[in-house]
Amino acid sequence: MVSRRVAARRVALGFLAVLVSAGSVVFAQRAWAIDYPTRPVKFVVPYPAGGATDILARLIGQRLSERTGQQFIIENKPGAGNNIGTDSVAKAEPDGYTILLVNPANYINATLYTKLPFNFLQDIAPVAAFNRTANVMTVAKDVPAKTVAEFIAYVKANPGKVNMASSGNGTSVHLSGEMFMMMSGAKMQHVPYRGAALAITDMLGGQVQVIFDNMPSIIQHIRAGSLRALAVTTEERSDLLPDVPPVSDTVKGYEASALFGMGAPKKTPPEIIAKLNAEVNAVLAEPAVKARLVDLGGNPLIGTPEAFGKMIAAETEKWSKVVKEAGLKVE
């Protein structure tokens, strides 16, 4: 019969072996995270190639590829208002090899859609912010208003006659306009298009009178004088349009910037998130990248995953109020 002392020793040794094994697993996971990435990383953009989100992802992804020695491959997964691409990342293996281009639709869709196959705030871990860009409140040349105050007066004097274009229902372009109507009391008719290009074509033709479009797609028409900028949607003036005031100079408290960044599936190891965050911040600090981001409408945002998470929560709450006030829903 085995003595109690021997039995106790065996139990203790077995427990120690479990601890050593568990410690080995943790050590291996950390070592693996430190070596990350050891193979190509899939960078999902939930929009077609060529748009502002795609341009931003390729800019950051190219420099990450050069810095890490592994390709960050852009995979465009458009559809369902950004939700197909986001869902694919939410359900991906949380190993750091599938990441998401986080964009304004993620914050808006959380309230806009009555049923989603994922919960963005819970299923996507924040990695790093990229930048925050302005939309531009822009009017057709035949609109007599030269300021935001004059435009509000013009809309109220012409009920039912002013059409507000957007690049589609539920986009940041649409919701920026809805927020303006909500806060100014100037009610307009919303005319959604399948993308900004078609909306701008009708703006140039005078069929619609105003759009709160993304800076990169509208600025060439403003500079050419074919359309007129009344205001930017950020709290501060933009370096690209220094003579154009913020909407908030007239409509107090208005802010409708577009926040972009990187996310990963929940349960992605914190060591990998920290490494990705550090690499992204290093890229954002490069003068050439900063200059390009300014060209795209906003300065880089260098910070922690936690700081980006707080920004995401604030944006989601902000747009939730606008969606509910406007009575918007997508089944």
Q: Looking at residues 143-148, what average pLDDT do you find?
A: 97
Residues in the chain: 331
Q: What is the pLDDT of residues 271-297, one digit of tens each?
A: 999 999 999 999 999 999 999 998 888
Residue 319's closest CA among 83, 79, 109, 84? Answer: 109
Rounded to whole angstroms, the Cα distance separating 250 from 6 reads: 83
Helices (H), the chain: 4-35, 52-68, 83-90, 104-112, 120-123, 148-157, 172-184, 196-205, 215-224, 270-284, 287-295, 305-326
Q: What is the pLDDT of residues 21-67, one digit of tens each?
A: 545 444 444 555 568 999 999 999 998 888 788 999 999 999 999 99
Q: At what angle do helices 215-224 and 196-205 cross, to 10 degrees?
A: 20
Residue 100 has pLDDT above 80, yes or no: yes
Q: What's residue 53's pLDDT?
A: 87
Q: Looking at residues 75-80, what average pLDDT do you find?
A: 93
Tell me the one-letter amino acid at 52.
Answer: A
Q: What's residue 299's pLDDT?
A: 85
Query: SS3 for 248?
Result: helix
Q: What's residue 24's pLDDT?
A: 47
CA 189-191-195 angle, to 5 degrees, is 155
Tell me the one-letter amino acid at 3.
Answer: S
Query: What is the average pLDDT value for the chain, to the nearest integer?
Result: 90
Which DSSP string corresponds to 72-102?
Answer: EEEEE---GGGHHHHHHHHTS-SSSSEEEEE
Rounded to whole angstroms, the Cα distance separating 89 from 123 reads: 9
Is residue 105 within 8 Å of 170, Cβ to Cβ?
yes
Structure tokens at 179: 């927020």
Is residue 199 within 8 Å of 165, Cβ to Cβ?
yes
> b/e string for 209-244 if b means 16 or more Cβ within 10 A?
bbbbbbbbbbbebbeeeebbbbbbbbbebbebbeeb
Rounded to whole angstroms, the Cα distance separating 80 from 117 reads: 12
Structure tokens at 100: 């998401």
Structure tokens at 56: 């931003």
**Residues pairing with 99 in the sheet:** 43
- CA–CA distances in Å: residue 168 to residues 101, 173, 211, 307: 19, 8, 11, 30
Per-residue pLDDT band for 265 (boundaries 50, 70, 90) equals very high
Residue 301 has pLDDT above 50, yes or no: yes
User: Options 3.40.50.1170, 3.40.47.10, 3.40.50.1440, 3.40.190.10; which CATH number does 135-249 get?
Assistant: 3.40.190.10
Is residue 228 within 8 Å of 145, Cβ to Cβ?
no
DSSP letter for 51, please.
S
Two domains, one topology: 39-133+258-326 and 135-249: yes
- CA–CA distances in Å: residue 302 to residues 93, 259, 292, 298: 27, 13, 15, 12
Topology adopted by domain 39-133+258-326:
D-Maltodextrin-Binding Protein; domain 2 (3.40.190)
Residue 189 has pLDDT above 70, yes or no: yes
Q: What's residue 160's pLDDT?
A: 92
Q: What is the pLDDT of residues 220-246, one digit of tens each?
A: 999 999 999 999 999 999 989 999 999
Rounded to whole angstroms, the Cα distance separating 168 from 151 reads: 23
Where are the chain's structural domains? Answer: 39-133+258-326, 135-249
Rounded to whole angstroms, the Cα distance separating 140 from 229 reads: 9
